[in-house]
Amino acid sequence: MTDPARQEQASPEVQKRIQESFDRQGLMAHLGARISHMAPGRVHIVLPARPEVTQQHGYFHAGATSAIADSAGGYAAYTLFPEDTDVLTVEYKINLLAPAVGAHIEAIGTVLKSGRTLTVCQLEVYGVQADGERRLVANGQQTLIRVNKPAQ
């Protein structure tokens, strides 16, 4: 059965704004992460397995896992923000539930509550095997702040 939330898409304008912002993130480019899905209040980021994003036992490094979770939540919030605003993380907490292994990991940020100033998101990270089998490897919660874009 297909997840209906996964089928919904953000508008082309929102997708363009988010992708342009994501493309300016040096860390996401350095890690090799990419956005795989954008919907109102929900963003998925995929990080393929490669030695540069692992720790000494061959698992995805907690820093890489946390970084894509943080960005997924931030961009999930950003899908709901007005065009003349931007997003910054205020805080987040992540629980590492199992070693992150697989062909890739996928972080999903989902808005729980969007406010005028603060937004709260749920963070989930799955280890995804080559055959598509998924295992929850991390979850957390994040608070973000809406800020005005700086004058150009």
Q: 122 with 77: CB under 8 angstroms?
A: no
Catalogue the E-assigned strands of the chain. 34-39, 42-48, 85-96, 104-114, 118-128, 134-148
Question: What is the rounded distance in angstroms from the CA atom of residue 13 to the CA atom of residue 16?
Answer: 5
Q: In what order do the strands lie in the sheet with 134-148?
A: 34-39, 42-48, 104-114, 118-128, 134-148, 85-96
**Rg, C-alpha atoms of the chain:** 15
User: For position 55, which CATH number holds?
Assistant: 3.10.129.10
Can you give the residue range of the structural domain that contains 65?
4-148
pTM of the entire structure? 0.93
The pLDDT tens digits along the chain (152 residues) read 345 445 689 999 999 999 999 999 999 999 999 999 999 999 999 999 999 999 999 999 999 999 999 999 999 999 999 999 999 999 999 999 999 999 999 999 999 999 999 999 999 999 999 999 999 999 999 999 999 987 76
Nearest to 104 by CA among 139, 122, 130: 130
Name the domain count of the chain. 1
Residue 137, SS3 per DSSP: strand
